[in-house]
């Protein structure tokens, strides 16, 4: 197996585990947690589950980013970033940057403490923010995945 093929395998596996995990948290865990009797229980349980998923998300975003940039480098595909037809490349990089910033910078340095303090004052509002944030992140991720699969198979939604 050549390096490009291995990078593509790692890239797809990384995306499946990463975005699949975001989908699981967004569509299963958060709705289940919001049915807990006490809002304080909701916040505490979600914090425990999310902190365990954070390591998986960090590893898979690293694998996805490294393999993606490696594939661009091997293909010398940087000029595709100048084409509107390859909008999905920009979307992949943007989604990756958002998650990488969240997971490696904002969450450990700012958001963890901010959500913890906010949850003490307004646990219900905090869970609502967490839910909306996850729905937004999942939505842009799924749009990006759909665009990337379509675009990498020659189906350009606009521009050529």
pTM: 0.87
pLDDT of residue 149: 93
- Name all contacts of 2-10 with Cβ < 8 Å and 24+ positions apart: 3/70, 3/74, 4/71, 4/74, 4/75, 7/67, 7/70, 7/71, 7/74, 8/67, 8/71, 10/63, 10/64, 10/67
Q: Where do runs of H (alpha helix) occur along 25-111?
A: 30-33, 39-75, 87-101
Ranges of the chain with pLDDT below 50: none
- Given a contact cutoff of 8 angstroms between Cβ atoms, the answer to whether 127 and 42 are in contact is yes
pLDDT of residue 152: 86
Residue 28: inside a domain: yes
Residue 82: inside a domain: yes
Domain extent for 15: 3-152
Q: How many independent structural domains does the chain possess?
A: 1
pLDDT of residue 99: 96
pLDDT of residue 157: 66
Residue 160: inside a domain: no
pLDDT of residue 1: 63
């Amino acid at each position: 197996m050549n390096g490009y093929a291995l990078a593509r395998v790692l890239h797809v596996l990384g995306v499946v585990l990463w975005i699949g995990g975001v989908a699981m948290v967004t569509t299963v865990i958060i709705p289940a947690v919001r049915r807990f009797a006490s809002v304080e229980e909701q916040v505490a349980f979600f914090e425990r589950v999310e902190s365990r998923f954070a390591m998986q998300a960090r590893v898979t975003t690293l694998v996805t980013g490294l393999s993606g940039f490696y594939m661009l480098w091997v293909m010398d595909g940087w000029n595709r970033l100048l084409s509107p037809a390859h909008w999905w490349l920009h979307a992949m990089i943007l989604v990756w940057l958002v998650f990488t910033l969240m997971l490696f910078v904002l969450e450990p340095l700012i958001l963890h403490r901010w959500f913890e303090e906010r949850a003490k004052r307004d646990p219900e509002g905090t869970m609502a923010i967490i839910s909306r944030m996850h729905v937004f992140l999942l939505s842009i991720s799924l749009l990006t995945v759909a665009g990337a699969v379509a675009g990498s198979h020659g189906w350009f939604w606009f521009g050529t």
